Chain A
Amino acid sequence: MSYQRLSRQGGVGLALALAVVACGGASLNQAKLAETQTAMQAAETLGAANDPKAKQSLQRARDELAEAKRLAKDGDEDRGNLYLERATADAELASQLKRTASEEEKARAAWAKSKAMIDVRAPQ
């Protein structure tokens, strides 16, 4: 791995750590926090907010992350870390619900195309 790439990764890691401190997550388990944030970012990138069930799950994840930070700020890091586990699970579910919805939509479109082909062949 090149020095430049290592520097970039180190820079990204430092930026992430600074962001975590700024957002009040300093006392939470950093590995769990990073896992939660990665899972939420993935769900957002997939477009979970565009599907009702996925959006609900993603919102739960956001609420749980906020609760985790609040608990950590109040000195209850242990419970805060438990909320991170919940948030990660909800974010991962949000991503999967979006993927499933997308695949179901593709299947519906494929059947509609088949039906249109059959209708085209019918006498006019």
Chain B
Amino acid sequence: MKSKLYRLALAGLPLSLAACASAGPSQELKTARDAYAKTRQSAAQVNPEGTLEAGRALRAAEKAHSDDAGSALERTHAYVATRKSELAMAQAGEARARADREKAQQVYQAELEREVGALHQELQAKQSASDEANRERVGWRQKGGDLVITLSGVVFETGGYELSPDAKTRLDVVIHAAKQNPSRTLTIAGFTDDTGRAETNRELSQKRANAVKAYLEGQGVASSRIVSVGRGESNPVASNDTTEGRAENRRVEITLERPEPSERMPVKGVDPEPMPAPEP
């Protein structure tokens, strides 16, 4: 159907209609013809319906020119025909932008899959390494059978608990990991630097943990799997005497906890493969 409409749009409008009129075309009509020619070239394939509509409008203008060259009717219909051509071009632009967005989403999803796959491989390789070595990695470490993800740096501003766009992007990896491992529960612990009172910091860290929990729930992680807790200024990972250190301490740690042995499902890339049952 679409190819039929495209052929009709290309068959379009013979420009020699102008020769039938006794007087030359108005400026509006010339503009309309140019606009339609551009539309046929750029938009006909993506938007055959819009291009046809523009062609119909131009035919009305050409008829008005044939009937009474230079009339107000010709100029009006030509004006409308130009707008119809511009409309068809804009519709084609919308369709292209939509396709572009879908492609970007596919790239994003592919990157997400690759990221989680790479992280599982890293954790498996580092199972026997020390905590000191693990600290050099990008915010991930293994603690026993648990996976601990740390979001620090630009996550929250001092005194604030709204997630930054960068933090949300990093949390998408956590969300994907949580969905891939449905048996694991998540404990979200919020931490602050030591600016201000301890009690205020504890309340702020709770709000930060709650903000992360709310974001994960909004992205489809079941509320029943998530616990959020505020640890305040306890357990600093860097010195609070520097700006950089305070930024590191303003962090959220998300632990994907290994379930109890009775409720465990093996996690691909983390747990060893089960031994085959012995022969009877």
Residues of A with Cβ closer than 8 Å to B? 78-79, 82-83, 85-86, 89-90, 92-93, 96-97, 99-100, 103-104, 106-107, 110-111, 113-114, 116-118, 120-121, 123-124
Contacts and interface: CB of A to CB of B under 8 A. Distances in A.
A103 to B, nearest CB: 4
15 contacts: A89-B84, A92-B87, A93-B86, A93-B90, A103-B97, A113-B104, A113-B108, A114-B111, A116-B165, A117-B108, A117-B115, A120-B115, A120-B169, A120-B170, A124-B138
Interface in B164-180: 165-166, 169-170, 172-173
B80 A100 contact: no
Q: How large is the interface on B (under 10, 10 to 19, 20 to 34, 35 or more residues)?
A: 20 to 34
Given A97-B90, A117-B169, A86 B76 contact: yes
B166 A96 contact: no
B36 interface: no
B97 A121 contact: no
Interface in B80-137: 80, 83-84, 86-87, 90-91, 93-94, 97-98, 100-101, 104-105, 107-108, 111-112, 114-115, 118
Given A107-B101, A110-B105, A117-B172, A96 B94 contact: yes
B83 A92 contact: yes
B97 A107 contact: yes
B73 A96 contact: no
A75 to B, nearest CB: 15
B72 interface: yes
A118 B173 CA distance: 12
Contacts of B107: 111, 114
Interface of B: 72-73, 76-77, 79-80, 83-84, 86-87, 90-91, 93-94, 97-98, 100-101, 104-105, 107-108, 111-112, 114-115, 118, 138, 165-166, 169-170, 172-173
B79 A86 contact: yes
Given A104-B93, A107-B97, A120-B173, 5 more contacts: A96-B94, A107-B101, A113-B108, A116-B169, A117-B115
Nearest to B83: A89
Given A85-B76, A86-B76, A100 B94 contact: yes
A103 B86 CA distance: 17
A96 B97 CA distance: 13
Contact of B73 (A82, A104, A121): A82
B108 A114 contact: yes
Nearest to B98: A103
Contacts of A111: 100, 104, 107
Contacts of A118: 111
Nearest to B138: A124
A56 B90 CA distance: 15
A82 B98 contact: no
A100 B93 contact: yes
A86 B87 CA distance: 13
Contacts of A107: 97-98, 100-101, 104
Contacts of A96: 87, 90-91, 94
